Amino acid sequence: MTAGNIFFGQGSLCSCVYDYFTDENRVLKKDPQQDYHLEYAMENSTHTILAFSRELHTCDTNDKSITESTVRIIWAYHHKDMGEAGQNYHGSNRGSKSLRLLNPEKAEISSASLPYFDLTNKDVPIPDKDTTYWCQMFKIPVRHEKHHVTKVEPLIQKGHENLVHHILLYQCSSNLNDSVLDYGHECYHPNMPDSFLMCETVIFAWAIGGEGFTYPPHVGLSIGTAGDPQFVLMEVHYDNPSYIEGLIDNSGLRLIYTPVLRQYDAGVIEAGLWVSLFHNIPPGMPEFVSEGHCTLECLEEALGAERPGGIHVFAVLLHAHLAGRAIRMRHFRNGEEQKLLAYDDEFDFNFQEFQYLKEERTILPGDNLITECHYSTVDRIRMTWGGLSTRNEMCLSYLLYYPRINLTRCASIPDIMEQLQFIGVKEIYRPVRTWPFIIKSPKQYKNLSFMDAMNKFKWSRSEGLSYNELVLKLPVNVRCSKTDNAEWSIQGMTALPPEIERPYKTEPVICSSSSCLCCSILLTLLFVVHVTARTIGNMRPFV
């Protein structure tokens, strides 16, 4: 059931907002409980502006609660007002947009006079296919003197606002050289340059409908010194569902920086499941949960050595691929669960950007962080594997924090042999000489790779549920990495996942309209309408 359809009607006596919902047959019905309230309205020859309010939690079964998760807004309009006969069909005047309505706003600091540099694609030919991921390596131009990046803005070529779907910027190994700058290439392609695989940590993310990212006033992304990013990889997702031919794009990013240094350098930690084939999801599952562990052992060693007083997280990017449905970043201290660090229970792969935290969160030595990812594979008939392709999966959180320490990855890998035992594998060929490795027994899997064996197994939903319960309890291999693939000593050790409550219990919803003033949110929608000369005469301002 979809809830919260807003209809605006202008009559001779009043301007009104109506609360509607749709049933399973997509039939619009007026909600008996009217929860949306018109605050302001204005119309002229080109715009209709509505401001309306609603409680975050209405206790109306026909409404969806408004949370910090992604909200999908669907809009439509007709140039004629709704009459007694009901709404007019919108035709092609419709669209949708994913938003995070409760993402805290950050105060803008004027950057008009600050220097900047642009990272933009150069005449990239967009294939006439639905989806293209294009990767281009760049060298950071500011060298030999420390500066702080204070803001990153999208630069979308005019007319390509619906073509450029998202942009990710990755920090690359400093062991690269200028030879990697020669050309761009399609990402995740068998022939893509090996250097692209040396760029793994996301330092910026933008998605269609999103804005630029502004660092807090006391924090900046350091550039210009030997310990800072020298090379970055920009990944652009082009969405061309109409298979338009001959498109050329020059979109990218603008990084605004300042020589006036801020108090702290920002760092990025990749937490969650190490991207590998050891992360796998059976087919036909309406829900399957994976967990990636930033273990207390890794945080104890890294933070204990470099920042015993802890680090402070101010933004989080939650990342999965097309099967992802929900992601939570859970935080534990001394065995006690803290408030969720970040979450998105309505995850949209095509809307990925850093979430500002309402309050900075301190992470201490010995804490546990768990990235919990929920997937749906009901439309798939083969295993889904961890990997780089969008048809593969990931379960990651990127933490923006300060002050920067030498910890870039805090992740885990589940034990593969116990996973294989679930489907009846008894022995593999040793020593392992091929990848994926080959199974020796039993007979039905003999000489098959472990991927082929997992696909051969006859998965049912009950088998998938049992497998899920097993995987969540398996020992994990700790990944605890420094810059340029150096490792903390804890790397490679085996650890048991902490005993935690599953599933996560959400906080009870308080939906009494009198509970608090802060439970209201004011939404403002701006509709830009192309109006013909014939209809202009019928329009007038109103309040």
Q: Which element (helix H / strand E) includes 473?
A: helix 461-473
Which residues are catalytically annotated?
133, 319
Beta strands in 376-425 (DSSP E): 384-385, 396-402, 409-414
Residue 109 main-chain phi, psi, to 5 deg: -110, 125
Count the Cβ atoms, other than its own, within 10 Å of residue 452. 15
Count the Cβ atoms, other than its own, within 10 Å of residue 26. 7
Q: Which of 250, 262, 252, 70 is nearest to 152 (CA)?
A: 252
What is the rounded CA–CA span in Å between residue 467 and residue 455? 14
What is the rounded CA–CA span in Å between residue 471 and residue 56? 36
β-pair partners for 52: 38, 523
Q: What amino acid occupies position 115?
A: P
CA 100 vs. chain centroid, Å, equals 11
Contacts of 234 (CB under 8 A, 6+ apart): 119, 121, 135, 136, 137, 138, 167, 168, 169, 170, 252, 253
CB 226 within 8 A of CB 116: no
Residue 303 main-chain phi, psi, to 5 deg: -70, -35
CB 290 within 8 A of CB 471: yes
